[in-house]
Structure 1
Amino acid sequence: MSYPGYPPTGYPPFPGYPPAGQESSFPPPGQYPYSSGFPPVGGGAYPPAPSGGYPGSGGYPAPGGYPAPGGYPGAPQPGGAPSYPAVPPGQGFGAPPGGAGFSGYPQPSSQSYGGGPAQVPLPGGFPGGQIPSQYPGGQAPYPSQAAAMTQGSQGTIRPAANFDAMRDAEILRKAMKGFGTDEQAIVDIVANRSNDQRQKIKAAFKTMYGKDLIKDLKSELSGNMEELILALFMPATYYDAWSLRNAMKGAGTQERVLIEILCTRTNQEIREIVRCYQSEFGRDLEKDIRSDTSGHFERLLVSMCQGNREENQNVNHQLAQEDAQRLYQAGEGRLGTDESCFNMILATRSFPQLKATMEAYSRMANRDLLSSVGREFSGNVESGLKTILQCALNRPAFFAERLYYSMKGAGTDDSTLVRIVVTRSEIDLVQIKQIFSQMYQKTLGTMIASDTSGDYRRLLLAIVGQ
């Protein structure tokens, strides 16, 4: 049974979905993975595991699995064999050469999910050392770690070779001079330069012409195209700080922006954002969060602001079992919810450690931790906790889902579309594109092309490499 286009991790993590009037397109409770009662109580793994068992078989299919042609990964097939998406040719899936695991988690040949020896640290080169999680059974929906390492950056934008900041500044000046604007020349420059190179172009422009490039661009552009260009010319840390300030400025608060940034960034990124927020806006980020949010959601965001999550990439399986027990006793195993226990564990443990805890929880409780959070919490704190868990399972999949819902239905949430495409363009937009196709059976470029127009569409497609 397949659910085309349906988000893989139970009900979508953000309030307001499904959109009003579209509820009928979502499967009713009990008919998708992770609904109440899956896996069947007392029924063990889902689907039935062969004699060798599946990794993390207590909660199966794992939340990292997504709908694919023929049903979601691991859907029961005639004869009981699990079904996985076909591996695209030449993608180099599976364990890389040399015996290194794709994501640093136990490999079937040498370690077990039940508590094997400590794992080797992940190689660097990814944000926070995080490598996106695997599909159940050791398959990955995007190139293996070894392939990623040999390819270098997993962003769609890479530094241009033979870069000349003064030449680029001159091209931009000519594109904006006189009547009309040569938008194509602007697109060709900004979509093919790294953020660091754009900062150098900005400095060269001021040196050569005594003018501010950003002010000149603002006078020539408008609407979504202006927002996208300005985002591309902001230093990455400043753009995150600016987005947070914008989300809390004036009446109302855009809680989803706070969640998207504070619950997904690395310790170093968060600390730099906090410093930038203070230096650029003369404000204390934590104080602004306290004045704009409340209750358990406020406490979660304040915890995130500290940038103190553990970053040891080795997994302590004993601790994972203990944390799973604590979370069960703080939620499903009692009347009411001990919110502080959830906050403590989800705000402090490393992402690989949280992934192991989720696997231990599924085996112990016969229920997925994401669905337990959905039962125990609501509103913004539920969205925040689920975001942390989704990033532990598969960070690119979280951003793919956010991109999908920014364009699904009537209208487009252009700010979210711009923010994610820009902020992930030099980090993991390659993986986001690949898993987007796995989740929704359409490419990110196709969806952008049908939801946007003009120079705005042209620049977005150039960034995503379409």
Structure 2
Amino acid sequence: MVYSPTVLPAEPFDPAADAQALKTAFKGFGSDEKAIIDIIAGRTNAQRAEIATQFKTMFGKDLIKELKSELRGNFEDVIIALMMNPVEYQAKELHKSISGLGTDEKTLMEILSIHTNEEVVAIKDAYEGLYQSSLESDIKGDTSGTVKRLFVSLSVGGRDESDEVNKELAYQDAQALLRAGELMFGTDESTFNMVMCQRNRPQLRQIFDEYEHLVGHSIQTAIENEFSGTAKEALLDIVHCIQNQMDYLAERLFKSMDGIGTDDRTLIRIVVSRSENDLGELKNVFEEKYGKSLSDWIRSDTSGDYKRCLLAIVN
């Protein structure tokens, strides 16, 4: 990850003045959306939390509830996402991907695969606190088979996080994957699960290289040959994220806007959650990959205050 935030701490910063400005923006018929965007999108998450504290101290009201009562639609969603504690926000996004009709496996995979062990454990703890149910039990209740085992393994937050690469072990794992898949009738999914969810990221990249040297085609081709449906898609997503996390997220952003309609949840989640980390680098990867800037895609695919807020975060 290249540390390249697009949202930086406001300096000077006066949380009481910001709280007063927001209160003023809520007055009268409608609200002053530009003022809301300037303040909320122009502060870090920690600064927004300070503003919320001052707002409640000064006016005896919860800022998030006030924002929800003033705003609507996707604009409301992006502003509330900015206001939330980042760990709780990811936990809520996981819950949305599991609850209701069907399962959003793509979102599950995104959240569980891009975060560190420490972050996954924190999200898992927040999930249990919010919903009085463990993430693991909810995954088990909503998925099955190979996909269930993959998501349960990823939700543990137990991947080796060292940067050590052992070429001999990589060669052995590549052979094990070959024996578990293309050299046998049927597929031993447990071997794929163990390797993909346990080995560290540089080691996995070495394993993928060794596999290609052994058989003459990529690990992706092997997965295409051996798996189908949701299991295939989940494994391909893991490989993509391991090989190049920025490219994986750029593709997620592109697919959220490409075609008919917009997957606003995914667009908001990635833009907001990467804004204080590596959104600057993600923008560069996106433009290089798709030949058009992320800002231009947002301009052509969204509208109104929602568009203006997203552009304020991105730029």
Normalised TM-score (structure 1): 0.66
Q: Which residue of 2 aligns with 1:194?
A: 44
**Counterpart Cα distance in 2 of 1:332 and 1:158:** 49
Give structure 1 stretches of 5+ with no counterpart: 1-130, 132-147
Helix, strand or coil for the counterpart of 1:352? helix
Helix, strand or coil for the counterpart of 1:155? coil
How many residues matched?
315
Q: Which residue of 2 aligns with 1:355?
A: 205
**Counterpart Cα distance in 1 of 2:163 and 2:11:** 34
Provide, for residues 16-71 of structure 1, a one-character-per-residue CA deviation record: whole Å limited to 9, x for no partner.
xxxxxxxxxxxxxxxxxxxxxxxxxxxxxxxxxxxxxxxxxxxxxxxxxxxxxxxx
Q: Identify which of 268, 271, 276 aligns with 2:121.
A: 271
The CA RMSD measured in Å over matched residues stands at 1.2
**Counterpart Cα distance in 2 of 1:248 and 1:391:** 21
Provide, for residues 280-321 of structure 1, a one-character-per-residue CA deviation record: whole Å limited to 9, x for no partner.
221111111100111110000000111000011121111111
Contact 1:259–1:383 under 8 Å retained in 2: no
AA aligned to 1:319 is L
Helix, strand or coil for the counterpart of 1:253? coil
**Counterpart Cα distance in 2 of 1:242 and 1:364:** 42
Q: Which residue of 1 aligns with 2:313?
A: 463
Q: Identify which of 210, 232, 257 aligns with 2:82.
A: 232
**Counterpart Cα distance in 2 of 1:354 and 1:160:** 40
AA aligned to 2:22 is L
Helix, strand or coil for the counterpart of 1:384? helix
Helix, strand or coil for the counterpart of 1:181? coil
AA aligned to 1:368 is S
The structural deviation recorded for 1:463 is 0.7
Could you say if the C-alpha distance between residues 380 and 155 of structure 1 is closer, same or farther in structure 2, counting changes exceeding 3 Å? Answer: farther
Contact 1:264–1:387 under 8 Å retained in 2: no
Q: Identify which of 50, 61, 64 aligns with 1:214.
A: 64
Contact 1:156–1:430 under 8 Å retained in 2: yes
Helix, strand or coil for the counterpart of 1:263? helix
**Is 1:311 aligned with 2:161?**
yes
Helix, strand or coil for the counterpart of 1:344? helix
**Counterpart Cα distance in 1 of 2:257 and 2:238:** 23
**Is 1:326 aligned with 2:176?**
yes
Contact 1:403–1:420 under 8 Å retained in 2: yes
Provide, for residues 382-423 of structure 1, a one-character-per-residue CA deviation record: whole Å limited to 9, x for no partner.
222222211221101101001111111111111111111111
Helix, strand or coil for the counterpart of 1:258? helix
The more displaced of 156-165 and 230-239 is 156-165
Superposition map of 1:28-47 within 5 A: none
Structure with greater proportional helix content = 2
**Is 1:254 aligned with 2:104?**
yes
Helix, strand or coil for the counterpart of 2:292? coil
Runs of 4 or more above 6 Å deviation: none
Superposition map of 1:3-42 within 5 A: none
**Is 1:154 aligned with 2:1?**
no
**Counterpart Cα distance in 1 of 2:150 and 2:277:** 25
Q: Which residue of 2 aligns with 1:450?
A: 300
Contact 1:397–1:436 under 8 Å retained in 2: yes
Q: Which residue of 1 aligns with 2:33?
A: 183
Contact 1:400–1:432 under 8 Å retained in 2: yes
The structural deviation recorded for 1:154 is 1.5
AA aligned to 1:381 is A
Contact 1:448–1:461 under 8 Å retained in 2: yes
Contact 2:105–2:234 under 8 Å retained in 1: no
**Counterpart Cα distance in 2 of 1:208 and 1:374:** 59
AA aligned to 1:425 is S
Provide, for residues 400-449 of structure 1, a one-character-per-residue CA deviation record: whole Å limited to 9, x for no partner.
00111111111111111111111111122112111111111111111110
**Counterpart Cα distance in 2 of 1:443 and 1:389:** 25
Provide, for residues 215-274 of structure 1, a one-character-per-residue CA deviation record: whole Å limited to 9, x for no partner.
111111101001111111111100010011112222322222211111221101110011
**Is the radius of gyration larger for structure 1 or structure 2?**
1
Contact 1:264–1:388 under 8 Å retained in 2: no
**Counterpart Cα distance in 2 of 1:290 and 1:156:** 37
Superposition map of 1:31-110 within 5 A: none
**Counterpart Cα distance in 1 of 2:292 and 2:181:** 37
Q: Identify which of 440, 455, 458 aligns with 2:290.
A: 440
Q: Which residue of 1 aligns with 2:148?
A: 298
Superposition map of 1:378-397 within 5 A: 378-397=228-247
Q: Which residue of 2 aligns with 1:57?
A: none
**Counterpart Cα distance in 2 of 1:326 and 1:427:** 36
**Is 1:409 aligned with 2:259?**
yes
Provide, for residues 57-107 of structure 1, a one-character-per-residue CA deviation record: whole Å limited to 9, x for no partner.
xxxxxxxxxxxxxxxxxxxxxxxxxxxxxxxxxxxxxxxxxxxxxxxxxxx
**Counterpart Cα distance in 1 of 2:215 and 2:48:** 50
**Counterpart Cα distance in 2 of 1:194 and 1:438:** 27
Contact 2:109–2:238 under 8 Å retained in 1: no
**Counterpart Cα distance in 2 of 1:402 and 1:210:** 40
Q: Which residue of 1 aligns with 2:274?
A: 424
Q: Which residue of 1 aligns with 2:19?
A: 169
Normalised TM-score (structure 2): 0.97
Identity fraction in percent: 48
The structural deviation recorded for 1:179 is 2.0
**Is 1:242 aligned with 2:88?**
no
Contact 1:271–1:306 under 8 Å retained in 2: yes
